Amino acid sequence: MANDIFTDRKNYIGASDAAAVLGMSRWKTPVQIWAEKTGVVEPDDISKKLAVKLGNRLEEVVAELFTEETGKKVHKVNEAFVHKDHDFLVCHIDRKINGENAILQCKTASAWKAKEWDGEEIPHEYIIQEIHELAVTGYERAYIAVLIGNQDFKIKIIERDEKLISEIVEKEAKFWNDFIIKNVMPSTVMAGDTDTLLKIYPKSNKNSISLDGKAGKIIESIEQLKYDVKNLESVIDQNENELKAILGENESGESGEHIITWKNQTTNRLDTTLLKSKHPEIYCNFLKGTETRVFRIKKKGEK
């Protein structure tokens, strides 16, 4: 443990970064982590989000429920833990279990995510988070107490696993040394990187470059996927039309657990073409320009 000088998250890999570093997070990607740690982009300020505010305020409630449920007393630790061999691996724990080499992680989840906690299930991001914390602290186990939709309360236990700890620490160290220290963007680019890539490369120049064989393979893959999607959309349209034909003049129908509706609906839209033609000065007054980068793939010679 060390004095808490780790106030700037750019200086270390924290427990909540671990799953993203491994490319296993639903919320962040390796490229996002790299861009934030190297200062290429500023991280989003999530502190003002209602879910985050509620989670922070309910942390004490969850800790109290844990003590009521288990009889185990806990206390806050207001310092950062630093890995004994890698000073860039850091964690802040929610609570320490009194008289036990164990951590308590306090979580809240919406009722919509209750299935993620069924039986022995634990969201994989939280498993990796706790393995990271066990690696850094040296403790033997981590308890996760979760309040689900203010309707259910569950406690999970993650025991120390030296093999898994070794694998995760090795991958985190490689990420830090290969990408953060060398300031090289990770080659693993994911679907969630759209906004991050636009922040990294907001403006294009007038240059044209020759792309390698990897780009050609990616283009072929995209074209095949688009072809497959188009065929699937056609099948969906056909099936929907079959249902419409079954409904006929009826507005709705029931089939097992499903309700099918085909309702009349009126939509009012501004006719911008007519407005521009009849009142060009008004049209121009309400124009708002936005700048972005448009991505397209086309055959040579196509306009």
* Shared domain check, 119 and 53: yes
* Shared domain check, 247 and 118: no
Domain total in the chain: 2
* Shared domain check, 236 and 155: no
pLDDT of residue 2: 54
* Shared domain check, 28 and 111: yes
Segments forming the whole domain that contains residue 15: 9-200
Q: How many helices (H) and strands (E) does the chain have?
A: 9, 9
pLDDT of residue 302: 79
Query: 238 in a domain, yes or no?
Result: yes
The CATH number covering residue 75 comes to: 3.90.320.10
Using the predicted structure, report yes or no on whether residue 1 has a pLDDT greater than 70. Answer: no
How many angstroms separate the CA atoms of 193 and 32, rounded?
Answer: 7
Query: 42 in a domain, yes or no?
Result: yes
* Shared domain check, 249 and 160: no
Task: Please give the model's pTM, rounded to 2 decimal places.
Answer: 0.82
How many angstroms separate the CA atoms of 141 and 78, rounded?
Answer: 20
Phi-psi category of 91—alpha, beta or left, where left has phi over 0 and alpha has psi -120 to 50?
beta
* Shared domain check, 147 and 230: no
Query: And the tokens for 250?
Result: 């009826």
pLDDT in tens, 128-174: 999 999 999 999 999 999 999 989 999 999 999 999 999 999 999 99
How many angstroms separate the CA atoms of 55 and 73, rounded?
Answer: 21
pLDDT in tens, 239-298: 999 999 999 999 999 999 999 999 999 999 999 999 999 999 999 998 888 888 888 888
Q: Which residues, 6+ apart, have CB-to-CB distance to 75 below 8 Å? A: 95, 96, 98
Query: 91 in a domain, yes or no?
Result: yes
pLDDT in tens, 23-62: 999 999 999 999 999 999 998 888 788 888 888 899 999 9
* Shared domain check, 240 and 131: no
Using the predicted structure, report yes or no on whether residue 15 has a pLDDT greater than 90. Answer: yes
pLDDT of residue 3: 52
Using the predicted structure, report yes or no on whether residue 192 has a pLDDT greater than 70. Answer: yes
| Whether the Cβ atoms of residue 152 and residue 116 lie closer than 8 Å to each other | no
* Shared domain check, 180 and 138: yes
Query: 207 in a domain, yes or no?
Result: no
* Shared domain check, 222 and 119: no
Query: 114 in a domain, yes or no?
Result: yes
Query: 138 in a domain, yes or no?
Result: yes
Query: 302 in a domain, yes or no?
Result: no
* Shared domain check, 187 and 42: yes
* Shared domain check, 177 and 129: yes
* Shared domain check, 244 and 147: no
Using the predicted structure, report yes or no on whether residue 124 has a pLDDT greater than 90. Answer: yes
| Arithmetic mean of pLDDT over the chain | 93
Query: 285 in a domain, yes or no?
Result: no
